Amino acid sequence: MDLNEPVHLYHKGVSGVRADGGLVDGFAGFRSSIREGDLILPRVAVGEPVRNECEHHLDCLQRGVPCRSGAAEGVAVVRVLEAVERSLRHGSTEIAIP
């Protein structure tokens, strides 16, 4: 991971329609329908994401202000992390997230 530029956003797409207005027909037509766009490098705060989130919640509790994310988002993150851990213990098998 590049710590200086951790996130790259590529503005690309596929139109499904050729430049002459006809439908894409085959691989060559598909390749010509790909739209290339800009690359955006958004500024991202450096640090460990889970630690940053925990520090944010503690700061909000101390100041008595609402957090960016609430309990539902926290529960969702914990479910994902638990599924990742179970998957790793079982040979990287796919684990359903409730």
In a domain, 59, yes or no: yes
pTM of the model: 0.42
The Cα–Cα gap between 83 and 76 comes to 11
Q: Which residue has the tokens 């390749």?
A: 31
In a domain, 73, yes or no: yes
User: What is the residue range of 66's domain?
Assistant: 49-89
> pLDDT tens digits for 13-59?
765 555 565 655 555 555 555 667 788 988 887 778 788 888 998 99
In a domain, 74, yes or no: yes
Question: Structural domain tally of the chain?
Answer: 1
What's the Cα-to-Cα distance from 85 to each of 20, 53, 81, rounded to whole Å? 51, 20, 6
**Greater model confidence, 2 or 1:** 2
Structure tokens at 28: 């060559």
Residue type (1 letter), 34: I
In a domain, 69, yes or no: yes
In a domain, 78, yes or no: yes
Q: Is the pLDDT of residue 98 over 70?
A: yes
In a domain, 95, yes or no: no
In a domain, 80, yes or no: yes
